[in-house]
Structure 1
Amino acid sequence: MTEKRSLADVLWIVMLVAGALSVLYPLVWVFYQSLKTNQQFFQNVWSLPETLQWSNYKTAWVKYGIGKSLLNTLYYVGLSLIIGTFLTTLNAYALTRIEFKGRKLIWGIIMLSLFLPGINALIPQFVLMRDLQLTNSLTGLIILDSFGESVFFLLLLGGFMQSLPKELEESAYMDGASIFQVFLRIIAPLATPGIVTVAIFKFLGLYNNFLAPFIYLSDQKKYTIGVAMYQANQLMQYTSDWVTLFAGVLIAMIPSVFMFVFFQRWIMEGATLGGVKG
């Protein structure tokens, strides 16, 4: 016998469906607008396309440099993600699992930095990057983002590592393992859900990063996807080729959508397991 739903349950379901539709409908709207001609778009923005203009995606890929900027973004995001995630994991391990003098002071300074807006570091960072001749360079951006530690990621992964029992390390030390061996063979494998969660958040942050590439990159051939889309949007006041811009927006969304779809379970597990002790 099926359980009857109360009025509150029905209202919650209606609200959830309405919320889902509010997210999905704009995406669907952009998709079918990208398959129109500009003439059809300006005649009626709500009508369905008469014929599917898949050539708009090719135009966006070539004309607005989406293809080149996407490759630049994958290079920038890929290396920054690998180096940055490794350093965050190493820092979290050192600050949560190793006893040394000054550890509490370092944590205190890290917590204090939460009250400082990140925009305050923009000018000093730019001066440093300019003096090191790392401006207008994707490699320079990789160095900046890899070594610029995020307090949020450090606290998230640190909280996850603190939930692991100390006996694991003590047993490994008794067997003659070094600190680095304990880190690689015991802590890192057990902290995989947390590490993957941090990596996913880092990927989304790096992929959607606009300000740093916009400031540091002056060569159009080195633009990341965010800057390329901004440049394409600026051209709309002269060309009004909106359907091609919509196609470019959808191409730019693909990596982020795939990341959410395939790794959403890791995000939920990593975000909740860090607060469980024992």
Structure 2
Amino acid sequence: MKEKRTWLDVVWRIILYLWALTILFPLVWVIYESLKSNPEFFQDIWALPTELKWGNYLKAWNQYGFGQSLLNTLYYVGGSLVVSLFFTTLNAYALTRMEFKGRKLIWSLIMLSLFLPGVNALVPQYVIMRELDLTNSLTGLILLSSLGESVFFLMLLGGFMSSLPKELEESATMDGATLFQRFWRVIVPLSTPGIVTVAVFKFLGYYNNFMGPFIYLSDPKKYPIAVQMYSANKQMEYTADWVTLFAGVTIAMVPSVIIFMLFQRLLMEGATMGAVKG
């Protein structure tokens, strides 16, 4: 039996459609501006292109370095994601599924970090990175990003794990499973929606990270996509080649859109289940 819609439901639906348009319209505008020539762009920013200039993408890929920056981003984001996700999952398991002395104290200290602005750690982090000779290195940036834990991700994944029945681990223990086997073969598979949710959030955070790479990397050939976009934007002060910059922005948007489309269902499921069960 279908639920009868009221006029209020229709109003809310219209509001959501309008909200979606405000998000989609700038993206569509950037895409069709990237297919114009510069004279067409300066003549009328709202007009559609008379001829599709696909060469703008090739120019952005080669001349403005978006191709190399995507490779750098793949290495930086991929490495950071794998290492940090493993540590986050391990930490969430230890703090929610294991009983040991000092667990509540550790949780309290972690929660206190919420009140500390991240910018306060920039100077000591930079000094440590410099002393370890890890500046101007993507590998050093991976280590810095991976070893810094986020309270938000711990709470999200910890809330999801704490909702799983303890009988599952007890059964595995009776079958002779070790602590790591219980973690890897029981908890991790059952926590897949929550892990995927954290992974997508981490991916977006690393992919859009600007401050860290901007501070620690001095070689333009090592720039990830966020810093490369800033560098290309600074070049516009002298070249005013805005259509090519729009092409670079479009290239930069593609990985995030693909990741969200692939994992949208698991992302929504993990966020919802973690909020309800945690």
Same fold (TM over 0.5): yes
- Contact 2:193 2:269 (8 Å CA) reproduced: yes
Task: Confirm whether residue 243 of structure 1 aligns to residue 243 of structure 2.
Answer: yes
CA distance in 1 between partners of 2:116 and 2:32 (Å): 43
Give the conservation status (yes or no) of the 8 Å contact 1:163–1:276. Answer: no
What residue number does 1:200 align with? 200
How far is the alpha carbon of 1:225 from its aligned partner?
0.3
Does the alignment pair 1:101 with 2:107?
no
* Paired letter, 2:167: E
C-alpha displacement at 1:120, in angstroms? Answer: 1.1
Report the AA paired with residue 30 of structure 2: V
Match in the other structure for 1:226: 226
Counterpart in the other structure of 1:122: 122
Please name the residue that 1:155 is paired with.
155
Give the structure-1-normalised TM-score: 0.97
Aligned to 1:177: 177
Provide the alpha-carbon RMSD of the alignment: 1.5
Which residue does 1:28 correspond to in 2?
28
4+ residue stretches of structure 1 with deviation over 2 A? 1-7, 275-278
C-alpha separation in 2, matches of 1:54 and 1:267: 34
How far has the Cα of 1:275 moved from its partner?
3.5
* Distance in structure 1 (CA, Å) of the matches to 2:88 and 2:2: 49
Scaled by the length of structure 2, the TM-score of the pair is 0.97
Equivalent residue of 1:46, what SS? coil
Counterparts of 1:267 and 1:275, CA distance in 2: 12
Contact 2:159/2:277 (CA < 8 Å) preserved in 1?
no
Contact 1:163 1:275 in 2 (8 A): no
Deviation at 1:140, TM superposition (A): 0.2
The letter of the residue matching 2:79 is L
What is the CA-CA distance between 1:10 and the residue it aligns to? 2.1
1:92 maps to what in 2? 92
Unaligned ranges ≥5, structure 1: none
| Matched letter for residue 35 of structure 2 | L
Q: CA deviation at 1:276?
A: 3.9
Q: Residues of 2 paired with 1:277 and 1:37: CA distance?
A: 53
Query: For 1:10 and 1:165, how far apart are their aligned partners in 2?
Result: 41
1: CA distance between counterparts of 2:220 and 2:195? Answer: 34
Name which of structure 1's ranges 6-15 and 127-136 shifts more when overlaid on structure 2: 6-15
Percent identical: 70
Separation in 2, partners of 1:260, 1:52: 28
Pair 13,39 (structure 1): closer, same or farther in 2 beyond 3 Å: same
2:110 is equivalent to residue 110 of structure 1? yes
Asked whether the equivalents of residues 37 and 53 of structure 1 are also in contact (C-alpha less than 8 Å), the reply is yes
Tell me the number of residue pairs that the alignment of Structure 1 and Structure 2 aligns: 278
